[in-house]
């Protein structure tokens, strides 16, 4: 599902509360209605939207009661900083991902077949929860460092006389252009999309930075000077 649409869907507090409840156990409409303190009709409308998005699924028991439950694992990442706002596409969590391919992360991956006993499973749960906390802290640290580096680029551009000393938001815009280049955008159209600015404005910034040896052009591609 598109990450922006998912954000809109989860912007409703009652839908978030429904997911929290269903994460504990499958429920039918009356249970959810009593938990939320809203009418069954409103609950049915929320469930329909969650079901259409693929977050919730339903089944009917022997008494013909319709139970709802979480349909799948899903992760959504949101990035908010002084230099941009964006979401990474929602994607399913997968136990089968090959974490050994990660360059900066070393994880001791246990064989699930060895975790036959309840005590071992509980130990594995604790280890994974600790890892989740560490990864969250690492993400916060990286985001903080990204902001610091972007601030440093803005200050350097603003304070450097040979760069023409663009002021205020202009210096921050130059930093955003450099960030887009660092993240692999190498055509004006790509950079323009990443920084949400017109191609003409982006081209002026690129030419200005190229004049001072910060970046260089090869045909229609731009790249940072190594």
With contact defined as beta carbons under 8 Å apart, do 222 and 181 qualify?
Answer: yes
In whole angstroms, give the CA distance from residue 4 to residue 50: 15
The answer as to whether 104 is a domain residue is: no
The answer as to whether 170 is a domain residue is: yes
Instruction: Pick the more confident residue, 133 or 112.
Output: 133
Query: What does the block give as tokens for 152?
Result: 């440093």
- State the pLDDT at residue 165: 43
Q: Say which residues have a Cβ less than 8 Å from residue 45's Cβ, sequence separation at least 6.
A: none
Instruction: Check whether residue 62 and residue 160 sit in a common domain.
Output: no
End-to-end CA, the chain: 38
Which residue pairs, CB below 8 angstroms and at least 24 apart, start in 82-89?
Answer: 82/147, 82/150, 82/151, 82/172, 83/146, 83/147, 83/150, 83/172, 83/175, 83/176, 83/179, 84/176, 84/195, 87/3, 87/4, 87/7, 88/3, 89/2, 89/3
Quote the mean pLDDT of the chain: 80
With contact defined as beta carbons under 8 Å apart, do 214 and 178 qualify?
Answer: yes
Last residue of a domain, one of 70, 101, 126: 70
Q: What angle do CA 114, 107, 70 make, to 5 degrees?
A: 70
- pLDDT tens across 33-53, in order? 998 999 999 999 999 999 999
Instruction: Check whether residue 41 and residue 143 sit in a common domain.
Output: no
Mean pLDDT of 125-144: 81
Mean pLDDT of 177-185: 88
Instruction: Check whether residue 123 and residue 39 sit in a common domain.
Output: no
Instruction: Check whether residue 130 and residue 60 sit in a common domain.
Output: no
Strands (DSSP E) found in the chain: 27-28, 56-60, 66-70, 75-81, 84-91, 215-218, 221-224
- pLDDT tens across 17-29, in order? 999 899 888 999 9
- State the pLDDT at residue 183: 85
Instruction: Check whether residue 48 and residue 126 sit in a common domain.
Output: no
For the cut 70, the answer to whether the pLDDT of residue 115 exceeds it is no
The answer as to whether 100 is a domain residue is: no
The answer as to whether 135 is a domain residue is: yes
Instruction: Check whether residue 123 and residue 215 sit in a common domain.
Output: yes
The answer as to whether 26 is a domain residue is: yes
With contact defined as beta carbons under 8 Å apart, do 50 and 17 qualify?
Answer: no
For the cut 80, the answer to whether the pLDDT of residue 180 exceeds it is yes
Q: Tell me, what CATH number does 46's domain have?
A: 1.10.10.10
Instruction: Check whether residue 31 and residue 122 sit in a common domain.
Output: no
The answer as to whether 191 is a domain residue is: yes
Instruction: Check whether residue 52 and residue 150 sit in a common domain.
Output: no
Strands (DSSP E) found in 55-143: 56-60, 66-70, 75-81, 84-91
In whole angstroms, give the CA distance from residue 117 to residue 99: 25
What share of the chain has pLDDT > 90, as a percent? 28
Instruction: Check whether residue 128 and residue 220 sit in a common domain.
Output: yes
The answer as to whether 29 is a domain residue is: yes
Instruction: Check whether residue 181 and residue 122 sit in a common domain.
Output: yes
In whole angstroms, give the CA distance from residue 69 to residue 215: 52
Instruction: Check whether residue 143 and residue 224 sit in a common domain.
Output: yes
- pLDDT tens across 50-88, in order? 999 999 999 998 888 899 999 987 878 887 877 677 777
Last residue of a domain, one of 48, 70, 92: 70
Instruction: Check whether residue 136 and residue 217 sit in a common domain.
Output: yes
The answer as to whether 198 is a domain residue is: yes
Look at the chain and report how many structural domains it folds into. Answer: 2
The count of other CB atoms within 10 Å of the CB of residue 175 is: 23
Q: Which residues, in sequence order, are bridge partners of residue 75?
A: 91
Mean pLDDT of 145-162: 71
Full domain range(s) for residue 25:
3-70
């Amino acid at each position: 599902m598109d990450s922006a649409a998912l954000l809109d869907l989860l912007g409703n507090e009652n839908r978030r509360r429904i997911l929290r409840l269903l994460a504990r156990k499958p429920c039918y409409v009356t249970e959810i209605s009593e938990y939320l303190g809203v009418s069954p009709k409103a609950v049915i409308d929320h469930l329909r939207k969650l079901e259409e998005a693929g977050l919730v699924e339903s089944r009917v028991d022997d008494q013909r009661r319709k139970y709802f439950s979480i349909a799948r694992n899903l992760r959504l990442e949101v990035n908010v900083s002084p230099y941009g706002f964006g979401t990474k596409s929602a994607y399913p969590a997968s136990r089968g991902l090959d974490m050994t391919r990660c360059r900066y992360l070393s994880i001791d991956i246990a064989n699930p077949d060895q975790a036959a006993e309840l005590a071992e499973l509980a130990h594995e749960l604790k280890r994974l929860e600790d890892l989740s906390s560490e990864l969250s802290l690492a993400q916060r640290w990286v985001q903080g460092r990204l902001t610091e580096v972007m601030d440093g680029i803005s200050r350097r551009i603003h304070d450097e006389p040979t760069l023409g000393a663009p002021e205020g938001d202009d210096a921050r815009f130059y930093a955003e252009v450099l960030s887009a280049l660092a993240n692999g955008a190498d055509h004006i159209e790509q950079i323009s999309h990443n920084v949400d600015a017109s191609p003409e404005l982006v081209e002026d910034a690129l030419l200005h930075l190229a004049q001072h040896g910060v970046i260089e052009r090869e045909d229609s591609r731009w790249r940072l000077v190594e």
